Structure formats: structure tokens, C-alpha cells
Amino acid sequence: MKKFFPEKFLILIVDDNPNNLQILHVILEAEGYKTIVVSNGQDAIERVHLDKPDLIIMALTMPKMSGLELCDYLKSPPPLTTSPIILMRTVREQEYLIEAFEKGAADTITHPFNPAEILARVRTHLELKQTQKQLNRLVKEHDKLANLLRKLAITDPLTGLWNRRHFLTVAYQEFNRASRYKRFMSILMIDIDHFKQINDEYGHTMGDEVLKGVAKSIVGSLREADYCGRFGGEEFVTLLPETDSNGAVRVAERLRKRLEQITIGIGDKQVQMTVTVGVASYQLDDANIEVIIQRANKALYHAKSQGYNRVALH
């Protein structure tokens, strides 16, 4: 079991009875705990704000604001503190036990006090708080890791764009929507011209920078509603919802012109590149998204056969 260090914990004691305050202060300080003592609810609220105690011990009955009222105030959503609260009560105040727990108390102790019982209950609740804190941290770390794994599963690690599989998953959904509601939709297949020559002449590190630069420029040329992925190698694909062939060609031309004007460099090496784009749009007799992608690919290959740095519509 992990070693317990009382001196790491601050305990707030709230009671209008100075004798009770003194007794609890002595018991807890002798064990190594740090304590703050106050005599009323308002001062207790201020110390909770300022000192953020790890545990609070308060009397059940106090003038102006009772322990039940103070407990309810501290624990009502959103709670002012997540620290456990232990209410002090007499044997005659047994009828308040259920209400104490309903107001957010973690435990109760009776007075006259039993020092061993007080120390045992205090330690138990502080250890439970530590355990809950560790559990919350582990849950957050788990969620963070799960989100990272989900992101890795759907993105291309180099460019940060969607990978081919996830892009096709989304594209299937958009195709079904376009088919059901007879909406426009277009696909752009984008290929970096002479990319092998860039790798051969400048090295793969420069090639990676070109891929990242092209990906960034593509995203910067699209609307928030558009989708973009890396299809493989130096080939990218975008899906443009609610966009007919004329609109898709305009987007492709804007993207092509933007890319031919940028320069990507590492040190003193500078590279300019161009892209060729094939465009295809949804037609009412299309059976699936692959049909549109195939037409966009045919348009791309046709454009390359006519030269590079151009846009072709199937």
C-alpha cells in the first residue's frame, strides 16, 4: 500500500464551540496534519475559496448557518469543493444522519470525541480522495490515448489529412446523401507533377515537405464543409458537397494557381511544384462513390497526357 503522509494534507475545522476546535486541532496536529480553525459558516466559505482544504470537519449545529446548511452550500452543483466533509454530531442528533448524507456529507463523527476513531475516519476519506484523484487522472490519460489512437486510425501521419480508408468512409456517406436527395457533389483527384524527380533531385526529406505543403494549401483552398484526404503517394482527393461540375472546376483552378505560386524550402534548397487535377461530379445513374472517383482519375490521366499543371473535367 502506498505510504500515507498526514503532513501533506490541510484540514478545515468549523465549530462555534472553542473547546471542540481546540480538541480537534490538538488531535490532528499531533498526527501531523495541518489545520485551519474557524467558528462560523461564512468564514469557512472564505477559507474554502482561499486555502482549498483537503478535508472539512464541521459541527452539525451552529448559529446563523448550521452544518447542514453549510454542507449543502458547499456541495450544491456546481460544488465549491470536492473535498470530503465530516459532520460532528451528538448521539441525540441521530435523526439528522440521513439528511447529512443527502446534503453531501461523506461521514459523521460523534462527540465526546474518540481520537482513534477521528484519525481513522479522516485518513480513510483522504485516502479515498487520493484514490479518486488518481482514478480521474487515469481516466483522462485513457481518454487522451483513445482520442490519439482514433486520430491515428483515420489520418495520414505525414500530412495530417484523412487517410484513404477514412476518406472513403465519409465519401460513402456523402454519396448516399447526394443520391437520396438528388444533390450536387464533386470529386477532385490532385496529383503533384514530377514528384519522383523532386525526390531524386532533392531527397525524400524535401519530398515530405512538399507533400505537407501541398496538403496545407489544399485545405486552405477549401470550405469547412469540404473533405480532403491523402489517397496515396503524391495523390490527394477532395470531396465537395453541394458543388456541381462548374463549381468544382473553379475550385480546382483556384487550387492549381495557388500551388504554382508557392515555394517550399529546406535551408538553401527551394522547390516549386505544380499539380494536375481531375474533376468528376455526381450523376443520377452513378451506382456508388467509386464510379465518381474512377471518372476523376480518368480526367486526371487525360490531363497528364495533354501536359501537366492543368485541370480536366471528365
pLDDT along the chain (314 residues), means of 10: 88 96 96 96 96 96 92 93 93 81 93 92 95 92 90 92 95 95 96 93 92 94 93 95 96 94 84 94 93 96 92 92
Which residue spans within the chain are E strands per DSSP? 10-14, 34-38, 55-59, 85-89, 107-110, 185-192, 227-232, 235-241, 263-266, 269-272, 275-281, 311-313
CB proximity list for 304: less than 8 A, separation 6 or greater: 191, 193, 276
Beta pairing, strands 263-266 & 269-272: antiparallel
- From residue 39, give the alpha-carbon distance in Å to each of 20, 122, 185, 187, 270: 10, 20, 71, 72, 73
What number of other Cβ atoms are within 10 A of residue 271's Cβ?
17
Three cell numbers, residue 70: 453549510
Q: Which of 99, 102, 127, 234 is catalytic?
A: 234
Verify whether residue 46 is a known catalytic residue: no
Per-residue pLDDT, 129: 93
Give the end-to-end CA distance of the chain in Å, rounded to a whole number.
70
How does 46-70 read in b/e, with b if 16+ C-beta sit within 10 Å?
Answer: ebbeeeebbbbbbbbbbeebbbbeb
- Which residues are paired to 280 by β-bridges? 187
pLDDT at 1: 55
**Residue 152: its pLDDT value, please?**
87
Contact 231, 163 (CB under 8 A): no
Q: What is the per-residue pLDDT for 179?
A: 93
User: Which burial class, exposed, middle or buried, applies to 234 when counting CB atoms under 10 A from its CB (0-12, 13-18, 19+)?
Assistant: buried
Q: What is the pLDDT of residue 3?
A: 85
Is the peptide bond preceding residue 84 cis, with omega within 30 degrees of 0? no
pLDDT on residue 93: 72
Is the pTM here over 0.75, yes or no? no
